[in-house]
Structure 1
Amino acid sequence: MTNILFAAGGFRWGQFEAPLRAALAEAGLQADLSLEHAPDETDYIIYAPNKHFIDFAPYGRVKLVQSLWAGVENIVTDATLTQPLARMVDEGLSEGMVEWVTGHVLRHHLGMDRHIVNPGHEWVFDPAPLARTRNVGVLGLGALGAACAQALAALNFNVLGWSRSLKAVDGVACFAGDEGLREIVSRSSILVLLLPLTGATENLLNAERLGWMPKGAVIVNPGRGPLIDDDALLAALESGQIAQATLDVFREEPLPQGHPFWAHPGVTVTPHIASETRPETASRVAAQNIARVERGEPPLYLVDRQTGY
């Protein structure tokens, strides 16, 4: 019997218990899934960072900690975590992110805010250019970023993608390194942020790089809040350098009620909903990864502790 500790918060237990049990059975695992297992009897931990973090040190028998989230910045630096850590990569996350990103890129491309809300009920005839004339930059070409970049390219946008190391994505002009970053930022009238949060990416969009963007550009951030310097973004919005920003993630969540983003006419706030982990699809990934380890195979989506993702 394989003992699996569900340490992702009790409120998620109601969402995940049935799909996980079904997925574990489908994967052929004889598993005891529980909210409570003694550390010296636990073989696997299914985890999502909560307000009350656990001490991983006593769980010396654990073969894998499987995160339910794509982002692992809140756990990867935990000194007590010496066990292998896998991040969540699954079709539900990718599909959800693609739908949110393409929806908001199209919203900004088409000028839907102007057309749907017309002050004074004016007849505003302001057709958008065709997608093939619009440069859309995607910073981050991991599983989510690559899927979004390809979806935007399929809509005929001219998509530019940037990653830490050079990648190849069909239909996307790919860049890497400092020069590549400047190339994409300076050419993108809509810029989508899908990078992980690391020491190298925090405040990536600072005042200098916001100044590289075409005047009146748009930022869409469903990645991580600290990728953007908040004060620099507000200043760029006030000056007109940046026309609009749609933000799904923030340095502090929920976004405090007094934060300037709430009231700024150039900012759209969404409550970290761009791509929520879906229990049905994530459960299958977790079960399959545990089954791989039980068969003596390496787990998928292992986190590199040096890079932070």
Structure 2
Amino acid sequence: MTANVLFAGRADAWPAYEPLLKAELSRLGTDADLRNEFAPEDVDYIVFAPSGPVSDFAPFTRLKAVLSLWAGVEKIVPVVPVGVPLTRMVDSGLAQGMTEWVVGHTLRYHLGMDAHLRGQNGIWEPQAPPLAKDRRVTVLGLGALGTASAQALATLGFQVSGWSRSQKEIEGITCHTGPEGLKAALAQAEIVILLLPDTPATENTLNAETLAMLPKGARIINPGRGPLIDDSALLAALGSGQIAHATLDVFRVEPLPPEHPYWAHPNVTVTPHIASETRESTAAEVIAENIRRGEAGEPLLHLVDRSFGY
């Protein structure tokens, strides 16, 4: 029986996704009819983004799964009916892009590049940075993106620790969990990278208390989610020198309002949510594979656990 697949992402994304998804479904030998319009009662799978045309799932009475094009699903979980499997996007392109961005900004801090980019005003100060093996980096969040970034940094020789809500075992990474584990992970961190999901349990992971656990002069990199940081606490820590610098790619309100103090702060680098994004070619591979799995009765990849929210 043919599976009916509704593409419900952004309208301008359909021309790119249509040939890629059809090619992948054909390559996998999956009998599927892919369209961007269907009668709701005929749809088996929805390829979904909140920016697309579907907001009410009630008419989709025979839905087998919702396949998100986004890695973050905090806006999606509340609207997808309980009982309908929901997957999130974890693809090689997303992981590669995030790893490149994280490694780039970690090296920027490690090598002290900002001072040279600003100019030395004629002052010759030949101070070489330490080697990576002498630099301690902590990654908060050891999902697919956090693990990929942590492993890349470890390969470069950094001392890498990680923290996650559930215990992980990753070669080359010192893994922590729980409140005491978070304290231990932060206590040695010269550079902290946030790649946690946005859930009630992770909101304000970096707050006045946890920022104070860091060594004085630590640096923060956040390509994860805006609500992971208490903005007022971070600004206070930047003002006191407890935090030397923060590079922020994500914010509670996006675009970041022009009047927000982050824009003008001398010790904050703002990037406009560009750390990584879903790439059509690699995303199509994951979506097509999940449709194949759904039709074959196999477990879906990257299934969202509603009890955790991701």
TM-score, normalised with respect to structure 2: 0.96
Deviations 1:104-158 (A, max 9, x none): 0000010011122215243332221111111100001111111111110111100
Report if the CA contact (8 A) 1:218-1:243 is conserved.
yes
- Percent identity of equivalent pairs: 59
Distance in 1 between residues matched to 2:53 and 2:122, nearest whole Å: 51
Distance in 2 between residues matched to 1:22 and 1:121, nearest whole Å: 58
Letter matched to residue 224 of structure 1: R
Q: Tell me if 1:307 matches 2:290.
A: no
Letter matched to residue 147 of structure 1: A
Distance in 2 between residues matched to 1:147 and 1:174, nearest whole Å: 14
Task: Indicate the residue corresponding to 2:209 in structure 1.
Answer: 208
Gaps of 5+ in 2: none
Letter matched to residue 74 of structure 2: E
Shift of 1:299: 1.0
Letter matched to residue 146 of structure 2: G
Q: Tell me if 1:60 matches 2:58.
A: no
- Where 1:294 maps in the other structure, the secondary structure is helix
Report if the CA contact (8 A) 2:221-2:247 is conserved.
yes
Task: Indicate the residue corresponding to 1:270 in structure 2.
Answer: 271
- Where 1:120 maps in the other structure, the secondary structure is coil
Q: Tell me if 1:250 matches 2:251.
A: yes
Deviations 1:224-274 (A, max 9, x none): 010000111111111111011111111111111111111111111111111
Deviations 1:43-75 (A, max 9, x none): 100011227651111112111100111111111
Task: Indicate the residue corresponding to 1:20 in structure 2.
Answer: 21
**Cα-Cα RMSD:** 1.4
Shift of 1:168: 0.4
Deviations 1:1-36 (A, max 9, x none): 321111111122133222112112212123222221
Distance in 2 between residues matched to 1:52 and 1:230, nearest whole Å: 33
- Where 2:121 maps in the other structure, the secondary structure is helix
Letter matched to residue 78 of structure 2: T
* Residue range with higher mean Cα deviation, 227-236 or 22-31: 22-31
Gaps of 5+ in 1: none
Letter matched to residue 282 of structure 1: A
Letter matched to residue 210 of structure 1: L
Distance in 1 between residues matched to 2:230 and 2:191, nearest whole Å: 18
* Residue range with higher mean Cα deviation, 1-10 or 237-246: 1-10
TM-score, normalised with respect to structure 1: 0.96
Distance in 1 between residues matched to 2:17 and 2:80, nearest whole Å: 27
Task: Indicate the residue corresponding to 1:297 in structure 2.
Answer: 298
- Where 1:149 maps in the other structure, the secondary structure is helix
Pairing 1:62-141 to 2, within 5 Å after superposition: 62-78=63-79, 80=81, 82-141=83-142
Letter matched to residue 202 of structure 2: T
Report if the CA contact (8 A) 1:55-1:80 is conserved.
no
CA pair 241-118 structure 1, distance change in 2 beyond 3 A: same
Report if the CA contact (8 A) 1:8-1:46 is conserved.
yes
Distance in 1 between residues matched to 2:259 and 2:16, nearest whole Å: 32
Task: Indicate the residue corresponding to 2:7 in structure 1.
Answer: 6
Q: Tell me if 1:180 matches 2:164.
A: no
Distance in 2 between residues matched to 1:56 and 1:294, nearest whole Å: 21
Distance in 2 between residues matched to 1:55 and 1:142, nearest whole Å: 29
Report if the CA contact (8 A) 1:5-1:34 is conserved.
yes
Distance in 1 between residues matched to 2:122 and 2:160, nearest whole Å: 35
Task: Indicate the residue corresponding to 1:162 in structure 2.
Answer: 163
CA pair 111-53 structure 1, distance change in 2 beyond 3 A: farther
Distance in 2 between residues matched to 1:222 and 1:52, nearest whole Å: 27
Letter matched to residue 155 of structure 1: L
Pairing 1:234-245 to 2, within 5 Å after superposition: 234-245=235-246
Report if the CA contact (8 A) 1:57-1:81 is conserved.
no
